[in-house]
Amino acid sequence: MFAQRAFLIQRLKEKREVVEQLLAKAPSDKEIYAGWTIKELLAHLSGWDDAIVEALQAHAKGEPVGRTVSSGINAYNAKTVHTRETLSLEQVIKEWKATRELVFRALEDLPDEEFNQQLTFPWGELGTVAYFIEIFVEHEEHHAAHLTKWLENPNEIVGEH
**What are the pLDDT digits (tens) for 30-59?**
999 999 999 999 999 999 999 999 999 999
pTM score above 0.85: yes
Domain 3-12+35-152, CATH among 3.40.50.300, 3.50.50.60, 3.40.50.1100, 1.20.120.450: 1.20.120.450
Residue of 132, 139, 119, 123 lying closest to 45 (CA atoms) = 139
Q: Tell me phi and psi for residue 27, to 5 degrees.
A: -70, 130
Distances (CA, A) of 17 to 24, 124, 126, 140, 157: 11, 29, 29, 10, 23
- pLDDT tens column, 51-93: 999 999 999 999 988 888 989 999 999 999 999 999 999 999 9
pLDDT for residue 2 is more than 80: no
**What does the alpha-carbon distance between residue 22 and residue 140 come to, in Å, rounded to a whole number?**
12
Domain range list for the chain: 3-12+35-152
Q: What pLDDT was estimated at residue 127?
A: 96
Please say whether the beta carbons of 31 and 152 come within 8 A. no
E strands present in the chain: 119-120, 126-127
Report which DSSP code applies to 129.
H
Q: What pLDDT was estimated at residue 92?
A: 98
**What does the alpha-carbon distance between residue 102 and residue 142 come to, in Å, rounded to a whole number?**
22
Residue of 10, 9, 13, 83 lying closest to 46 (CA atoms) = 83
